[in-house]
Amino acid sequence: MSLYEQDFYQWTQEQAGLLKAGLLSRLDVENLAEEIEDMGKSQKRELLNRLTILLLHMLKCDHQPEKHTRSWDLSIKEQRLRLEDHITDNPSLKRIMAETITKAYKFARIRAAAETGIDESAFPETCPYDAGRIMGDYIGETGLP
């Protein structure tokens, strides 16, 4: 059994040490490449998850204004700030923003139906918000900046 399989943390430390020392021939290239790919995928998943939560609360605000709470507003604000930070740290994610919004909206729509008790068909099939509105580049119904 390899160190990668036995003790992942130790493996990462060893690989970092080998890289820093320039001992490239001793690297576990196959597993290292796989881990780097996974790191990129995790950044995409983070974007998708943040957008899903944000869109969920935007849908709830729009479709249940009578149940609108400060908690929803704060969740929207927090997700916008976290998205802004995430995109600042990973600017290449801007290239996949439109397709990720489309995916996130599908999840948000399902969750909104589950959490509100409103039939899924009451929510638009496609995302009704553009990227500017999603990211808060306006003053919307929620009163958030």
Q: Report the predicted TM-score, pTM, of the whole model to 2 decimal places.
A: 0.82
Neighbours of 86 (CB within 10 A): 16
Per-residue confidence in pLDDT tens, the chain, 145 aa: 999 999 999 999 999 999 999 999 999 999 999 999 999 999 999 999 999 999 999 999 999 999 988 999 999 999 999 999 999 999 999 999 999 999 999 999 999 999 999 999 999 999 999 999 999 864 344 444 3
Q: Where are the beta strands (DSSP E) in 32-107?
A: none
Segments making up each domain of the chain, as ranges: 42-135
Going 132 to 135 to 141 to 145, the CA torsion angle's sign is negative
Element (H, E) at 142: none
